[in-house]
Structure 1
């Protein structure tokens, strides 16, 4: 059998292919896309995708952007993913600990998982007071350009790191691989990462790994804002963060409710 023949899918479902092509195209898009752009993006005529767009809209997977003629993904796929047992278990184990952490340090925190070359926020707890940075659930950023992503990469096996690096370089060929790996190694040696936010001035991102079997399944992150007068400094926040991440790791391994955060 030839190589081409062996790579051909065994079964075809043309309608399903069209729907998945549209969803994957919109997932990569940075802005809503109109029918012409979607038609060109998936390489199909408007007539071929017209009914598919209607069905996807009726089922709640896509929606027309407010005030625009274009389509964008809704959070339906994200919410379906959140129902997967590993993700649901992580959120259930983390939220009580995150609430105690936020109360203690008077800062917000959020939980992050990898999603191919990106990171996605799956849970958040806002600061108890009236000042704090809000990072919405479902927010995505390039893994290589986030402190949470750095931590997720740092605490993986060499084989997984090599695979992730290849994926990151495919999506961003100009990535400074040596510098990224160096920063990841430093974070692993320290047990956490600490870096000025490259999105918001005046914010220091503090991130620690939630571990299972010695590799990071999530990153617990604080977008730290210095308050005046300061109730707790960044060093104390890091200590509290690492203790919270350890507690979540323990809860995932042995079951929730097996410990408390100070």
Structure 2
């Protein structure tokens, strides 16, 4: 009798094809045609067509206006937010983040880890006419962000090893990222110049859950306005951010286990 591995035993080809399409569309903002999707995935056009029809009927993908390119809809993001811990986190954080953004005149966002990337799950803007913000739903490389350092700094070694494998960064970037983590953990926050936008000074603090793990990072991409409307400096903003994150942690149940 021929041995069958667990991978072969539990294969679901149709599901795999559907997930391949969703992951491919999630990697680009411009969308892809049916032919492009088939070529990239090494599938035939008819089998991709059938999968796309099902995904459209279920609301996961949509056609662009006036073209034949398929895009992800917002349904995956909406489904993710039905997950109770994430729904509770965003519900608790939203009002507190907006109050602090108004008080500091700085925008901020809440991020979690998702498939080896930083995923922005909440974003609030400050009242100023000029601001720096991160798009809700944006997925950013972990090593490029203060949020990623906060999310990784308190990880147990096995979890951190898995994250590093998912990140698939070149060795110099990986080494630099790892070297930053002890300092973040010792300070209780991450404060650093942005690695992607000149002039932005990132402030990021952890939000812990009832298990003691970092559930999310709340981050201010701090900017200094030449108009003089920045009335709170980076040090005071960082302190206020850390205090808000600690309060969110308490409300998420952190410290409840003796």
1:1-262 matched pairs, under 5 angstroms:
5-29=4-28, 31-169=30-168, 172-212=169-209, 213-227=211-225, 228-229=227-228, 230-253=230-253
Aligned partner of residue 203 in structure 2, secondary structure: strand
Per-residue deviation, 1:20: 2.1
TM-score, scaled relative to structure 2: 0.89
Moved more, 233-242 or 206-215: 206-215
Q: d(CA) in 2 for partners of 1:64 and 1:45? A: 19
Moved more, 120-129 or 243-252: 120-129
Q: d(CA) in 1 for partners of 2:13 and 2:139? A: 30
Alpha carbons of 1:17 and 1:168: their partners in 2 closer, same or farther (altered >3 Å)?
A: closer
Deviation by residue 1:125-151 (Cα, 9 ceiling, x = unmatched): 110232222322111111111111111
Per-residue deviation, 1:174: 4.6
- Alignment RMSD (CA, Å): 2.2
Deviation by residue 1:172-198 (Cα, 9 ceiling, x = unmatched): 345522211111221111111112223
Aligned partner of residue 106 in structure 2, secondary structure: coil
Verify the 8 A CA contact 2:111 2:120 in the aligned structure 1.
Answer: yes
**Where in structure 1 are there 5+ consecutive unaligned residues?**
255-262
Q: d(CA) in 2 for partners of 1:236 and 1:159? A: 35
Alpha carbons of 1:72 and 1:12: their partners in 2 closer, same or farther (altered >3 Å)?
A: same
Alpha carbons of 1:55 and 1:175: their partners in 2 closer, same or farther (altered >3 Å)?
A: farther
Verify the 8 A CA contact 2:192 2:202 in the aligned structure 1.
Answer: yes
Q: d(CA) in 2 for partners of 1:34 and 1:175? A: 37
Moved more, 10-19 or 208-217: 10-19
